[in-house]
Amino acid sequence: MKIGIDCDDVLSISVAAFRKFYSKKYKKDLYYFRFEQPHKLGLTVQEFYKIWDEFCNADEHTNMDPIPHSFDVLKRLSEKHKLIVITARSKQLKEPTVKWITKNFPNIFNNIHLINEANKIGTKTKLKVCKELEIDILIDDNLDNLLPCAKEGIKCFWFNQYTSYPPKKLYSKKNIIKVKSWIEIEKEINKGK
């Protein structure tokens, strides 16, 4: 199978590393933060992405931890499946993104796709990339990325350990499996053989 895998908070503990960077640089504590809500920081989208770019080139990004068990599970999955990173990160962040991934997941991924241009979110959707690449499974922490893919018949794993949605956010469970760890993902993929 071809398995598409998001980067931030699926491979890497990005929000925690970003909080550390932001708190150190701006002397403000980020108790609650989601990438989709820069206005909660009092920032425009453009201001947020300027800070995000700084973060991606900072030590906090270089040294951020991978999600527990991700390397071992992905190593085993890579022996049977084609693994492709599909991240909404801007293509201008290719160097620090690829560097972090290859350092923490050597020889695991067949390709790494950064799908947005110049920090303009929505340049290309994950659904469009999944269809172009003929992805069988998408693993992502953002339900908004998964819903269109699930609707088109792509099996989706909603990695929900490091992010949360309001409890009343409704979604069809058809083609979407909510998981909290890479161990759960491996079990579900192996069940579906």
pLDDT at res. 16: 86
* Antiparallel, parallel or unpaired: β 137-140 and 155-159: parallel
Give Cα 96 distance to the centre of its chain.
Answer: 15
Query: With 60 as the cut, is the pLDDT of residue 166 above it?
Result: no
Average pLDDT over residues 129-151: 94
Q: How confident is the model at residue 23 (pLDDT cuts 50, 70, 90)?
A: confident
What is the pLDDT at residue 49?
84
Q: Say whether pLDDT at 78 is over 80.
A: yes
Cβ contact 97:56 at 8 Å: yes
Name residue, tokens 């503990």. 13
Calpha distance 115→125 (Å, rounded): 8
CATH no. for 2-12+66-191 = 3.40.50.1000
Structural domain spans, the chain: 2-12+66-191, 14-62
Select the more confidently predicted residue: 20 or 82.
82
- Looking at the chain, the whole-number percentage of residues with pLDDT higher than 90 is 61
pLDDT at res. 43? 76
Q: Which residues have a Cβ under 8 Å from the Cβ of 128 and sit 6 or more positions away?
A: none
Residue 128 confidence (pLDDT) above 70: yes
Q: State the pLDDT at residue 129.
A: 95
Q: What is the pTM of this model?
A: 0.91
Describe the strand order of the beta sheet including 137-140 as a list of residue ranges. Answer: 111-116, 82-90, 2-5, 137-140, 155-159, 176-179
pLDDT band at 192 (very low <50, low <70, confident <90, very high): confident
pLDDT for residue 123: 67
- Residue 4's pLDDT band (cuts 50, 70, 90): very high
